[in-house]
């Protein structure tokens, strides 16, 4: 099947219009979920009786607090600065009345939020500091505690606020905090020094959280009053048999059982009291349990997101929101494989391979480097990967050291070494793709941390790549540090384990002279996570040195891709550039 560029553009348009779904919560007879069905990341509600859907928000939204059954309102943040990520807090009735501004916060990045029916708690960062705030329904707000580490709220009730963070200032560990609103005291809790503990959920005085303090990541309950800790035990065995490595989400059902989404090798399953809720293979990104129904949003690399209603008594599945893949896209997506290859030091790197039916093997191949870096490619719908595959490229997507999904030891291997071992893993992914008959020529691309790795790979290993595409990338850690707000300064300190001397050595701008392959730079104008300014310097060096490159600065856009138009502005230049530089 040959394909000209106009055809590729038409296919791309079809792919990026395919909606994303994720269930968020339930309140007053309505399932609350994310959807991009009308081209914008929005909150929707579904009346579970009548199955009537309603769009609750108009403009793109940033973050939603998990709805609570006793309040009919949905609380969320929205960027009011054209992508600079300064947020205000809004609410909307789940029945779909008018959206209203709830808290007119001073200019800050709100990076976590939770609420109960009385109050909204959130963490915010300015250039100066990070802090924990409490907001009220009358619109007032109060800064209750300054934060000096990466700290996120996860839940709140009438007495406590809980969350997690690098509270002991050890970049490799996470501790739980319990803030008592009566006394104003924030307690730090860890079951063992050096362990990773996260995502606490409250029920009265009980805190449910994930910890690796005994080795494997498992769920535990800490009782605040008793000061006791117990491991969650399940009535059914399916959870233990599945033996998850990490957990996507979990919580209590109304009658006090534990539900949990366990993850292993990029796929996830839902368990209630240890019993598997049978759903199609893929990745469940969230679940909401309402009485004897489970609402599950899931997808795979070959099937876009759907929302299923599973009857927990009969195991019957009712597709409440379907998402049919057009046949011409389906026909292009080839085999999906999960493999592990050995990197330079013998470490096994879990990797997804997605073949394209449009080209033979070996054929033109893209290494897709995910962002984060504490993130991963799973067996879930991924519009970037699918766009590449449907345009006629095989994709290899390594979960390089530092990725999530494979345990805390693996996740923290990049701390103190970003752009070191993880970059070598990318080089070895290329080696694997060539030696195993997948690739004849290879491009590298990524967004954010993946853009950083792309720049660094092109500068440090210039002979390996046919071309590279860096979206919202990092070129200069030193300058970026100076331009960052308090949370991103802390993020950089954590990632580098405070090794200041590494900032320059690991910056792509130090290797720009060596770049050989054509480079496509795509960068949002108003990005405040990976700012444009250092990239402008990098571009002028490329120009001075006569390198082949093209640049797309996306006006009035920030780091996050929140609309179909944003996605098109990133992916259209990508496809055009590959068309030119990956020609046989
Ligand atoms: P991400 O972007 O890949 O989208 O998470 C990043 C932004 C900042 C940093 C790393 C990644 N940082 O180290 O500051």
Q: pLDDT at residue 161 above 90?
A: yes
Q: Is residue 355 part of a domain?
A: yes
pLDDT score, position 128:
96
Q: Are residues 366 and 313 in the same domain?
A: no
Q: Are residues 395 and 469 in the same domain?
A: yes
Q: pLDDT at residue 1 above 60?
A: no
pLDDT digits (tens, 9 = 90+) for 53-63: 999 999 999 99
Q: Are residues 297 and 341 in the same domain?
A: no
The residue ranges of DSSP E strands in 507-554, in sequence order, are 519-524, 549-554
Q: Are residues 320 and 333 in the same domain?
A: no
Beta bridge partners of 262: 247, 269
Is the CB of residue 530 below 6 angstroms from any atom belonging to ligand 1? yes
Contact present, 365 and 393 (Cβ < 8 Å): yes
Is the CB of residue 371 below 6 angstroms from any atom belonging to ligand 1? yes
Is the CB of residue 491 below 6 angstroms from any atom belonging to ligand 1? yes
Please tell me the distance between residue 421's alpha carbon and the centre of ligand 1 in angstroms.
17
Q: Are residues 297 and 412 in the same domain?
A: no
- Mean pLDDT of the chain, nearest integer: 97
Please tell me the distance between residue 449's alpha carbon and the centre of ligand 1 in angstroms.
5
Q: Whose CA is nearest to atom 8 of ligand 1?
A: 529
Question: What is the distance between the alpha carbons of residues 56 and 229, in angstroms, rounded to a whole number?
Answer: 40
Instruction: Assess whether 297 carries a catalytic annotation.
Output: no
From the centroid of its chain, how far is CA 118?
29
Lowest mean pLDDT among 97-101, 155-159, 215-219, 235-239: 97-101
Is the CB of residue 488 below 6 angstroms from any atom belonging to ligand 1? yes
Please tell me the distance between residue 71's alpha carbon and the centre of ligand 1 in angstroms.
35
Q: Are residues 289 and 400 in the same domain?
A: no
Please tell me the distance between residue 123's alpha carbon and the centre of ligand 1 in angstroms.
18
Q: Whose CA is nearest to atom 7 of ligand 1?
A: 529
Is the CB of residue 451 below 6 angstroms from any atom belonging to ligand 1? no
Q: What SS3 state is found at 13?
A: helix
Residue with tokens 């999904």: 405
Ligand 1 pocket test target in 85, 111, 372 with most atoms within 8 Å of CB: 372
pLDDT score, position 256:
94
Residue with tokens 């005085």: 205
Q: Are residues 320 and 332 in the same domain?
A: no
Q: Which of residues 271, 303, 324 is at a domain's end?
A: 324
What domain range is 525 assigned to? Answer: 327-581
pLDDT score, position 117:
82
Instruction: Assess whether 463 carries a catalytic annotation.
Output: no
Is 253 exposed, middle or buried (CB count within 10 Å of its CB: 0-12, 13-18, 19+)? middle
Q: Whose CA is nearest to atom 12 of ligand 1?
A: 492
Q: Is residue 46 part of a domain?
A: no
Which atom of ligand 1 is the closest one to the Cα of 418? Answer: 13
Contact present, 58 and 75 (Cβ < 8 Å): no
Which atom of ligand 1 is the closest one to the Cα of 448? Answer: 3
pLDDT digits (tens, 9 = 90+) for 478-527: 999 999 999 999 999 999 999 999 999 999 999 999 999 999 999 999 99
Residues 6+ positions from 392 with CB-CB distance below 8 Å:
3, 8, 332, 356, 358, 359, 364
pTM equals 0.97
Q: Which of residues 308, 324, 340 is at a domain's end?
A: 324
Q: Are residues 479 and 569 in the same domain?
A: yes
Which atom of ligand 1 is the closest one to the Cα of 451? Answer: 3
Q: Which of residues 277, 304, 324 is at a domain's end?
A: 324
pLDDT digits (tens, 9 = 90+) for 395-407: 999 999 999 999 9
Q: Are residues 301 and 393 in the same domain?
A: no
Please tell me the distance between residue 371's alpha carbon and the centre of ligand 1 in angstroms.
7
Is the CB of residue 492 below 6 angstroms from any atom belonging to ligand 1? yes
Give the count of beta carbons closer than 10 Å to the beta carbon of residue 142: 10
Q: Is residue 98 part of a domain?
A: no
Contact present, 512 and 542 (Cβ < 8 Å): yes
Is the CB of residue 372 below 6 angstroms from any atom belonging to ligand 1? yes
pLDDT score, position 583:
84
Please tell me the distance between residue 464's alpha carbon and the centre of ligand 1 in angstroms.
25
Q: Are residues 347 and 467 in the same domain?
A: yes
Number of domains the chain is built from: 2
Task: Give the dihedral sign, CA 541/544/545/547.
Answer: positive
Q: Is residue 74 part of a domain?
A: no
Which atom of ligand 1 is the closest one to the Cα of 559? Answer: 4
pLDDT digits (tens, 9 = 90+) for 170-200: 999 999 999 999 999 999 999 999 999 999 9
Contact present, 483 and 433 (Cβ < 8 Å): no
Instruction: Assess whether 566 carries a catalytic annotation.
Output: no
pLDDT digits (tens, 9 = 90+) for 463-485: 999 999 999 999 999 999 999 99
pLDDT digits (tens, 9 = 90+) for 244-276: 999 999 999 999 999 999 999 999 999 999 999
Q: Are residues 373 and 315 in the same domain?
A: no
Q: Are residues 289 and 331 in the same domain?
A: no
Is the CB of residue 495 below 6 angstroms from any atom belonging to ligand 1? yes
Ligand 1 pocket test target in 171, 370, 371 with most atoms within 8 Å of CB: 371
Please tell me the distance between residue 486's alpha carbon and the centre of ligand 1 in angstroms.
14
Which atom of ligand 1 is the closest one to the Cα of 370? Answer: 3
Question: What is the distance between the alpha carbons of residues 45 and 66, in angstroms, rounded to a whole number?
Answer: 13
Please tell me the distance between residue 401's alpha carbon and the centre of ligand 1 in angstroms.
16
Is the CB of residue 62 below 6 angstroms from any atom belonging to ligand 1? no
Residue with tokens 């020094």: 193
pLDDT score, position 2:
55
CA-nearest of 448, 447, 374 to 410 is: 374
Ligand 1 pocket test target in 449, 497, 534 with most atoms within 8 Å of CB: 449
Q: What SS3 state is found at 242?
A: helix
- What CATH number should be reported for the domain holding residue 471? 3.40.50.1820
Question: What is the distance between the alpha carbons of residues 220 and 165, in angstroms, rounded to a whole number?
Answer: 17
Please tell me the distance between residue 160's alpha carbon and the centre of ligand 1 in angstroms.
31
Ligand 1 pocket test target in 473, 529, 557, 562 with most atoms within 8 Å of CB: 529
Please tell me the distance between residue 159's alpha carbon and the centre of ligand 1 in angstroms.
34
β-strands 283-290, 275-277: how paired?
Answer: unpaired
Ligand 1 pocket test target in 415, 446, 473, 488 with most atoms within 8 Å of CB: 488
Q: Is residue 4 part of a domain?
A: no
Q: Whose CA is nearest to atom 2 of ligand 1?
A: 448
Instruction: Given the residues 299, 343, 387, 448, select the one marked as catalytic.
Output: 448
Phi–psi pair at 284, nearest 5 degrees = -85, 115
Is the CB of residue 250 below 6 angstroms from any atom belonging to ligand 1? no
Q: Is residue 296 part of a domain?
A: yes
Please tell me the distance between residue 373's alpha carbon and the centre of ligand 1 in angstroms.
7
Q: Is residue 198 part of a domain?
A: no
C-alpha to C-alpha distances, 171 to 166, 179, 415, 421, nearest whole angstrom: 6, 22, 7, 17
pLDDT score, position 462:
98
Q: Whose CA is nearest to atom 4 of ligand 1?
A: 448
Q: Is residue 189 part of a domain?
A: no
């Amino acid at each position: 099947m040959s394909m000209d560029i106009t055809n590729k553009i038409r296919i791309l348009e079809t792919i990026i219009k395919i909606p994303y779904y994720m269930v968020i919560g339930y309140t007053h007879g309505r399932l609350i979920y994310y959807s991009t069905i009308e081209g914008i990341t929005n909150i929707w509600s579904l009346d579970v009786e009548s199955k009537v859907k309603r769009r609750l928000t108009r403009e793109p939204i940033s973050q939603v607090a998990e709805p609570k059954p006793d309040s009919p309102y949905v609380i969320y943040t929205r960027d009011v600065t054209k992508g600079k990520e300064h947020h205000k807090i809004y609410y909307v009735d789940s029945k779909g009345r008018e959206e209203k501004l709830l808290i007119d916060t001073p200019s800050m990045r709100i990076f976590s939020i939770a609420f109960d029916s009385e109050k909204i708690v959130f963490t915010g960062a300015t250039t100066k500091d990070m802090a924990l705030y409490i907001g009220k329904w009358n619109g007032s707000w109060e800064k209750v505690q300054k934060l000096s580490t990466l700290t996120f709220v996860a839940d709140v009730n009438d007495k406590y606020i809980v969350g997690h963070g690098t509270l002991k200032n050890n970049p490799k560990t996470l501790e739980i905090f319990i803030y008592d609103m009566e006394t104003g005291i924030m307690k730090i809790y860890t079951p063992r020094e050096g362990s990773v503990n996260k995502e606490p959920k409250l029920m009265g005085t009980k805190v449910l959280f994930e910890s690796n303090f005994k080795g494997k990541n498992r769920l535990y309950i800490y009782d605040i009053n008793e000061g006791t800790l117990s491991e969650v035990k399940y009535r059914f065995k399916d959870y233990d048999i599945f033996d998850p490595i990490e957990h996507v989400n979990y919580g209590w059902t109304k009658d006090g059982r534990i539900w949990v989404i366990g993850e292993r090798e990029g796929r996830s399953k839902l368990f209630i009291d240890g019993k598997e809720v049978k759903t199609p293979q893929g990745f469940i990104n969230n679940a909401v349990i309402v009485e004897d129904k489970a609402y599950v949003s899931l997808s795979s690399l070959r099937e876009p997101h759907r929302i299923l209603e599973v009857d927990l008594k009969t195991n019957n599945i009712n597709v409440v929101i379907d998402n049919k893949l057009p046949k011409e896209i389906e026909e292009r997506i080839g085999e999906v494989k999960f493999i592990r290859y050995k990197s330079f030091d013998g470490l096994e790197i879990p990797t997804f391979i997605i073949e394209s039916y449009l080209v033979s093997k070996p054929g033109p191949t893209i290494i897709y480097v995910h962002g984060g870096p504490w993130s991963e490619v799973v067996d879930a719908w991924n519009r970037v990967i699918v766009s590449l595959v449907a345009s006629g490229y095989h994709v290899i997507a390594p979960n390089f050291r530092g990725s999530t999904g494979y345990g805390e030891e693996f996740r923290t291997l990049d701390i103190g070494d970003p752009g070191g071992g993880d970059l070598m893993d990318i080089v070895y992914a290329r080696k694997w793709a060539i030696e195993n008959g997948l690739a004849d020529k290879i491009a590298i691309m990524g967004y954010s941390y993946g853009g950083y790795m792309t720049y660094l790979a092109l500068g440090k290993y210039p002979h390996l790549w046919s071309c590279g595409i860096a979206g919202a990338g990092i070129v200069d850690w030193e300058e970026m540090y100076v331009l960052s707000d308090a949370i991103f300064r802390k993020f950089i300190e954590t990632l580098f384990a405070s090794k200041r001397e590494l900032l320059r050595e690991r910056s792509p701008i130090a290797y720009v002279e060596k770049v050989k392959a054509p480079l496509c730079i795509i960068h949002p104008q108003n990005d405040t996570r990976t700012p444009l300014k250092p990239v402008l310097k990098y571009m002028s060096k490329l120009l001075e040195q006569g390198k082949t490159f093209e640049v797309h600065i996306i006006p009035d856009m920030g780091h996050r891709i929140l609309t179909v138009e944003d996605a098109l502005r990133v992916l259209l230049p990508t496809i055009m550039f590959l068309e030119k530089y990956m020609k046989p």
